[in-house]
Amino acid sequence: DSGVTQTPKHLITATGQRVTLRCSPRSGDLSVYWYQQSLDQGLQFLIQYYNGEERAKGNILERFSAQQFPDLHSELNLSSLELGDSALYFCASSVSPDRFATNEKLFFGSGTQLSVL
């Protein structure tokens, strides 16, 4: 158990819909990262938040957005869903003792399997 909690574990929805994925980082971790894993694209970094602020952005679509709340949990919002958005979505966290902390281990949750029908 990594200590990172993701809910729900499975989500089935229809094209055009909007869903929210939730992540609770390990206790004390300030950074949260979101990754997408599809069969043809592998693990893709989407976005990172540090202590409530966006820290880094990867290959995140404009239809997707995320935020990190004062209690440090994070949500990934996916809207206007398409068939191609079906994937495993992972959240990870790290301690990040300060904004420029580096050389850290990331701890991953068990993921949310999203199926868009």
By CB under 8 A, name the one of 29, 78, 96, 116 that touches other proteins.
96
Nearest one of 8, 39, 42, 31 to 108, comparing CA atoms: 31
By CB under 8 A, name the one of 14, 27, 70, 103 that touches other proteins.
103
- Strand ranges, E, within 31-111: 31-38, 42-50, 53-57, 64-68, 74-78, 87-94, 107-108
Contact string 16-55 vs other proteins (x = CB under 8 A): ---------------x-x--------xxxx--x------x
Q: How far apart are CA 117 and CA 100, in angstroms?
A: 41
Residue 60 makes contact with other proteins by CB under 8 A: no
Strand pairing of 10-13 and 112-116? parallel
Which spans of this chain sit near other proteins (rule: CB under 8 A)? 2, 4, 31, 33, 42-45, 48, 55-56, 58, 88, 90, 92, 94, 96, 100-111
